[in-house]
């Protein structure tokens, strides 16, 4: 803190500065601010019911409660806020410091976590297949990222745009975890929800971004059904048109591009995907191909048309059969 006080304020980009615009399509700053922002977390406890929001048990700055779900949610939301703020200059879900609200201990043996349009909600799991859903930072990052998508590209939660909505949450969920652990693209597991299965389950995680379809293969749960290529795209009316299934295809494109580039994924593919989400160029009903084209455009804009970043992004989408 002392060093920050003594440091000369950095020269600000003037309105006539060449390069990137100062604000994105939503009027939010596109460059990092001088000082990091702090989150405003509020954790509530549904006490085993399905009533929301539940009882407020921990506010920003208050000390740990000793309830693991409460404290893991608090810490995980802090890690998620930190990644978006420090890496992309986005202060919370709306970019304006909106409070981060979460409810834990939702329902009785509840086997899921979700974003309800206002808050993140986490079940405790049934203890047989699932442990608590706050046990995984990528899951916390996934749920908060649904809020960011809702406040930016608004990808409609149906069919391909819905699978992209799911994909964006997985991508940033993975990056939150990698950023917190200081992991590069090679060291990263690219797993979503590692550590939420009990020891009884034959499986590593809920999903694998790098190898969709291989996250689990269990007697009770069955086999991970995610495709990783357009030839295996699943047409179904369930799950809003397979949003949690077909997200495996863009997930794999993202992970392949990141691994090809090496280094920290949030510095290249993360930046490109964040630019895509906030460009204002993406329709709410975007298809995989439209989203892919936009990521290539954003990669060329930020890193250059002949850049290895643009090349890796193009190649990732080609490997999963989205771009020719």
Q: Is 143 in the site for ligand ASN (CB under 6 A)?
A: yes
DSSP H/E element including 101: strand 100-106
User: How many of the chain's residues bind ligand ASN (CB under 6 A)?
Assistant: 6
CA dist 298 and 76 (Å) reads 29
Return the one option of Zn ion, ligand ASN, none that residue 112 interacts with (CB less than 5 to 8 A, by type). ligand ASN
Which residues share a beta bridge with 44? Answer: 56, 103
Return the one option of Zn ion, ligand ASN, none that residue 113 interacts with (CB less than 5 to 8 A, by type). ligand ASN
Q: Is 224 in the site for ligand ASN (CB under 6 A)?
A: no
CA dist 193 and 123 (Å) reads 13
Using CB under 6 A, pick the residue from 13, 22, 111, 114 that binds ligand ASN: 114
Q: Is 112 in the site for ligand ASN (CB under 6 A)?
A: yes
Say which of 105, 142, 244, 268 is annotated catalytic.
244
Q: Which stretch binds ligand ASN (CB under 6 A): 30-38, 43-51, 112-120, 121-129?
A: 112-120
Cβ proximity to ligand ASN: between 76 and 89 the closer is 76
Q: Is 73 in the site for ligand ASN (CB under 6 A)?
A: no
Q: Is 268 known to be catalytic?
A: no
- What is the torsion angle, in degrees rounded to the nearest 10, for the CA atoms of residue 228, residue 232, residue 233 and residue 234? -110
Using alpha carbons only, what angle is made at residue 285 by residues 26 and 242, rounded to the nearest 5 degrees? 125
Residue nearest to ligand ASN (CB): 114
Q: Is 236 in the site for ligand ASN (CB under 6 A)?
A: no
Q: Is 50 known to be catalytic?
A: no
Using alpha carbons only, what angle is made at residue 31 by residues 29 and 33, rounded to the nearest 5 degrees? 80
Return the one option of ligand ASN, Zn ion, none that residue 103 interacts with (CB less than 5 to 8 A, by type). none
Return the one option of ligand ASN, Zn ion, none that residue 224 interacts with (CB less than 5 to 8 A, by type). none
Positions 36 through 65 that interact with ligand ASN (CB under 6 A): none
Q: Are 272 and 309 in contact (CB under 8 A)?
A: yes
Say which of 81, 101, 105, 143 is annotated catalytic.
143
Applying CB under 5 A, the residues found at the interface with Zn ion are 169
Which residues share a beta bridge with 58? Answer: 43
Sites of contact with ligand ASN (CB under 6 A): 112-114, 142-143, 166
- Among all residues, which ones are annotated catalytic? 143, 244
């Amino acid at each position: 803190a002392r060093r920050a006080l003594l440091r000369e304020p950095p020269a600000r980009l003037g309105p006539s500065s060449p390069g990137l615009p100062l604000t994105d399509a939503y009027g939010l700053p596109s460059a990092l601010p001088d000082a990091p922002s702090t989150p405003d977390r509020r954790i509530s406890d549904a006490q085993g019911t399905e009533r929301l929001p539940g009882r407020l048990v921990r506010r920003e700055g208050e000390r740990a409660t000793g309830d693991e779900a409460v404290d893991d949610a608090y810490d995980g939301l802090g890690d998620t806020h930190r990644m978006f703020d420090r890496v992309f200059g986005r202060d919370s879900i709306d970019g304006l410091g909106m409070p981060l609200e979460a409810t834990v201990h939702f329902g009785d043996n509840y086997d899921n976590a979700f974003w309800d349009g206002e808050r993140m909600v986490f079940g405790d799991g049934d203890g047989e297949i699932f442990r608590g859903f706050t046990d995984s930072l990528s899951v916390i990052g996934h749920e908060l990222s649904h809020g960011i998508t809702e406040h930016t590209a608004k990808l409609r939660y149906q069919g391909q745009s819905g699978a992209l909505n799911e994909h964006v949450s997985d991508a940033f969920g993975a990056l939150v975890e990698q950023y917190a652990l200081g992991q590069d693209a090679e060291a990263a597991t690219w797993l979503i929800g590692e550590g939420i299965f009990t020891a009884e389950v034959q499986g590593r995680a809920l999903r694998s971004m790098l190898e969709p379809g291989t996250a689990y293969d269990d007697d009770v749960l069955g086999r991970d059904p995610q495709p990783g290529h357009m030839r295996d795209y699943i047409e179904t009316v369930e799950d809003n048109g397979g949003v949690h299934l077909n997200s495996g295809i863009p997930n794999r494109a993202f992970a392949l591009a990141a691994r090809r580039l090496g280094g920290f994924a949030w510095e290249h593919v993360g930046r490109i995907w964040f630019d895509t989400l906030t460009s204002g160029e993406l329709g709410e009903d975007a298809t995989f191909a439209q989203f892919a084209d936009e990521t290539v455009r954003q990669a060329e804009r930020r890193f250059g048309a002949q850049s290895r970043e643009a090349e890796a992004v193009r190649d990732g989408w080609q490997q999963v059969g989205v771009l020719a």
